[in-house]
Structures are given as C-alpha cells and as structure tokens.
Amino acid sequence: MIVTLIFLAVLIGGMVIGMPIAHALILTGVALMWHLDFFDSQLLAQNLQAGFDNFPLLAVPFFILAGELMNAGGLSRRIIDLARAFCGHIRGGLGFVAIGAAVLLASMSGSAIADTAALATILLPMMRDQKYPPGYSAGLLASGGIIAPIIPPSMPFVIYGVTTNTSISKLFLSGIVPGLMMGIFLIGAWWWIARKNDLPSMPRVGWGERMKALVQSFWAMMMPVIILGGLKGGIFTPTEAAVVAAVYALIVSMFVYRQLSWSKLYDVFLNAGKTTAVVMFLCGAATVTAYMITLADLPNMLAESFTSVMSNPMWFMALMMVFLLVVGTAMDLTPTILIFGPVCAPLAVKAGIDPVYFGFMFIYVGCIGLITPPVGTVQNVVAGVGRIRMETVIRGTTPFLLMYVLLLILFIIFPQIVTAPLKWMH
C-alpha cells in the first residue's frame, strides 16, 4: 500500500507542479529506490539508457519520419483528393471525404497528430467555405484522426508491445477490423448530422476526374499495400516495416510527385528528430519507473486489490477501461502506455484475458482520451490549425465520442470482434 501511495503521489505531484512527464517518471523511480533502500545512480543511468536501446523501438523514429514525409511530399493530399472525387457529391460530402481519408491515412502513418494535422489543414478551409458548422467539422476531423493509432502501422502499438513484451505483429493485426468499424460508426454519426443540418454537397465529379484522382493517388495507395502485405506475408518485421514506409515515402515524395525539395527535406528530418527525441526520452524515463515497479512487486499488490473482480474477465475489463478513460482525460497516449502498461498488463494476464486483446483495448481507450477534455491533444491540434475555440471543438466532438464509447462497450461484451479476425489473419 505504501509503495502504491509513493508511486501515485510522486508521479501526480510532479505533473501537478508542471514538471515534464519524463522528469516526473525518473523522480518516481528515484523515490521508489529510496523507499526500497538501495539507491544506485549507476543503475538509474543504465535503465534510462536501456529504455531507448531497444531494437523494436527503432520503428518509432521511422514511422514519425514517414508521417512527416507524407504530409510534406503530397501523399496525404492525394489521398484526400481521391476521397473527395468519389464522395464529395453526397450531402455533407466533405465529412465523408474526411472519414475515408482518415481511414486511408491511418494505414500509412500510425500517428494521430500527423493525420489530424493533414486532414485539418486541407479540409477545414473547404468545410468553412461550404458553410459547415465549425464545431461538427472540427469534431469529425479530430475523431477521424484517432483512427491512425488503431489501423496498422501504429506507433502506439509498437511502444505498448515493447513496454509490455506483447507481440507487435499481433497487435498490428488486431486493429484492422476495429479500425474499419470506427470509420463505419463515424459515417453513421455524420450521416445523421448532415441530414439534421441540411449540409450542402459538392458538384458530382465525372468518371474522368475520378480516374485521374485514382491514377494520381496510385503511388500513395501502394504504401499500405506494401506495408500490410509485407507484415502478413512475413517478409519483414514491424520495425523493418517502419523503415520501408519511410524510404518509400521519401522516394515517392522526391522522385515521383516531386513535391519535396532538398531544402525542405532538412526541415522534415529536423521535425521528425525533435518528435523522436521527446518520445525516446519518455521511453527511457518510463523504463526506470517500470524497473522499480517490478522490484517493488506493485502489480501483485494491485492484483490483490482486484481479487473480487478478477474472476470475471468482463467486469475486470470494464473496470480497467473506466480507469483508463479517466486517466486518458488528463494524460497523453504515450505517457499512459509507458506508465500504466507495465502495471495493467500483468493484471490482465492474471485475470485470464488475452494479452493482445487487452493491448488493443488499452490503446483504443487511450485514443478516446485524445478527444476527451480537459487535455484532448488531438482536439488542440484541430483548434490550433482551424483557429477555432476549444469549447466549440469539444461540443462538436460529442456525438462522435459517444459512438466510440458505444463501440468500446461492444468490444468489452464481444471480445471476439477483436480476437476472431486476429486468429484468422495471423
């Protein structure tokens, strides 16, 4: 009990006073070391370094780089143009374009922030010109952006897999069907909003324009085919898939679409490097805390507290998801994985829950947290890009958030939605 109190008090206290999460994690590890009476600065440094010296984590910088290259090199824009050519003429068509583009982009970058920024930059001005309600427009784009961490390739799945020693390939495959279901549920919500608000449509595009858009997006569309085909066929690992994605995006951006110059390439690498540094330092700091959590036997202590519900996997999952939803309202996805993944995953195994299924649910709930106030990281991206008040974005996100919560309930009641396709695909 004392170990749990120290863990929560130091971690939450550090964040409350404005300390960076990585620093709060290291301080938590140090506090646990002092409590267990074996403080060793060398051990602290070794665990910090071990956090980034992990081969599967090499996928993270390459997926980040692939997302930057897609946005700068025109791949994202061509995917959006393709969706607009086929869906723009429907009532509220730009919303359906956003959903279609979100699903397609999700199969390429794996980053909610990168996909949301691309969607908002291109589609928000068009929606504003068509007199769409700004709140619903921003809410839809934010809600579509969080499909990215679910459909492979997914950076959060990589981080979760490394942190909890769960198969990254299986985590990737577990997200395909649920990710498509997220898109379908968004379509249902947007269809109702479009009818209720009598939203306009764009002129129907002829088949000539559609074929032109299809041809122009061909090289962009080949990216998920190569990545998912290579993973399914066992040609490369998730880490190697990240490298393939980055190299492919670089070649297409510079030599096929020719929208990325050598001068712009420096900025792309610089932005990717800055983001990678933040994520990797978080991983290193979390490794320090995770090591001390293991030594302090915190998972077993918590398991004793959950004894009454661990005999019923469904109730245990429901309780865990409520807890993670609350955490997600105040914390970004990566810190949530790094802090609570090593604690919660062993409890799920003790409760008899498939570790891959639990890993998917962990990431899915964390994604919902990205569009949940007060933090709402993805909502902040849309508000910043579109210069829309945060309160407006939050209200506009509500119907889509409710659809995702409904989907969460379905995943808890019917875990086969996740596990059955996974067994078939694997």
- 364-407 tens-digit pLDDT: 999 999 998 876 888 888 888 888 888 899 999 999 999 999 99
Terminal C-alpha separation, the chain: 41
pLDDT cut 90: percent of the chain above it: 26
Q: Looking at 271, 295, 319, which one is the last position of a domain?
A: 295
Whether 46 maps to a domain, the answer reads yes
Residue 43 confidence (pLDDT) above 80: no
Q: Do the domain assignments include residue 4?
A: no
Average predicted confidence (pLDDT) for the chain: 85
Whether 420 shows a pLDDT value over 90: the answer reads no
- Rounded to two decimals, what is the model's pTM? 0.83
Are 285 and 334 in the same domain? no
**Residue 133 corresponds to which tokens in the numbers above?**
């309600």
Classify residue 400: in a domain, yes or no.
yes
The residue-averaged pLDDT of 239-260 equals 89
The answer to whether residue 418 is domain-embedded is yes
Q: pLDDT confidence of 308, banded at 50, 70, 90?
A: low
Residues 44 and 129 in one domain: no
Does 20 lie in the same domain as 119? no
As a whole number of angstroms, the distance between CA 421 and CA 201 comes to: 36
Tokens of 410: 């379905």
Could you give the angle at the alpha carbon of 68 between the alpha carbons of 66 and 72, nearest 5°?
115
Does position 351 have pLDDT exceeding 90, yes or no? no
**Which two structure tokens, joined as six digits, stand for 107?**
């199969």
Of the residues 250, 272, 295, the one at which a domain ends: 295
Backbone φ and ψ for 376, nearest 5 degrees, come out as 50, 65
Length of the chain: 426
Q: Are residues 86 and 204 in the same domain?
A: yes
378 burial via Cβ count (<10 Å: 0-12, 13-18, 19+): buried
**326 and 291 in a common domain:** no
Asked if residue 152 has a cis previous peptide bond (ω within 30° of 0), the answer is no
> pLDDT tens, 93-127?
889 989 998 998 888 877 888 888 888 888 888 88
Rounded-to-integer distance, Cα 314 and Cα 306, Å: 13
Question: Same domain for 170 and 223?
Answer: yes
Question: According to the model, what pLDDT value does residue 400 have?
Answer: 96
Range of the domain at 180: 54-260+296-425
Residues 98 and 241 in one domain: yes
Which of the pair, 166 or 280, is modelled with greater confidence? 166
Q: Is the pLDDT of residue 426 over 70?
A: no
pLDDT in tens, 51-64: 777 777 788 888 88
Position 275 in a domain: no
Same structural domain, 352 and 388: yes
**Across residues 133-159, what is the average pLDDT?**
92
Q: Are residues 335 and 323 located together in one domain of the fold? A: yes
pLDDT at residue number 104:
87
C-alpha 107/C-alpha 64 separation (Å) is 14
The verdict on 43 and 128 lying in the same domain is no
Asked whether residue 271 is domain-assigned, the answer is no
Spell out the long-range contacts of 114-117 with Cβ–Cβ below 8 A and sequence spacing 24 or more: 114/64, 114/67, 114/68, 114/70, 114/71, 114/148, 115/67, 115/76, 115/144, 115/145, 115/147, 115/148, 116/141, 116/142, 116/144, 116/145, 116/146, 116/148, 116/378, 116/381, 116/382, 117/71, 117/381, 117/385
Q: How far apart are CA 137 and CA 266, in angstroms?
A: 33
pLDDT at residue 8 above 80? no
Say if residue 175 is in the same domain as residue 191. yes
Quote the number of domains for the chain: 2
Instruction: Name the band, by pLDDT with cuts 50, 70 and 90, for residue 269.
Output: very high
Q: What is the mean pLDDT of residues 342-366?
A: 91
Contacts of 66 (CB under 8 A, 6+ apart): 108, 109, 242, 245, 246, 248, 249
Residue 287 belongs to a domain: yes
Tracing tokens 């997600």 back to the chain, one arrives at 328
9: in domain: no
- Whole-angstrom Cα Rg for the chain: 22
Percent of the chain with pLDDT over 70: 96
- The pLDDT assigned to 299 comes to 65
Confidence of residue 302 (pLDDT cuts 50, 70, 90): low
Q: Domain boundary at 268, 295, 322, which?
A: 295
59 and 46 in a single domain? The answer is no
The position carrying tokens 């914390």 is 331
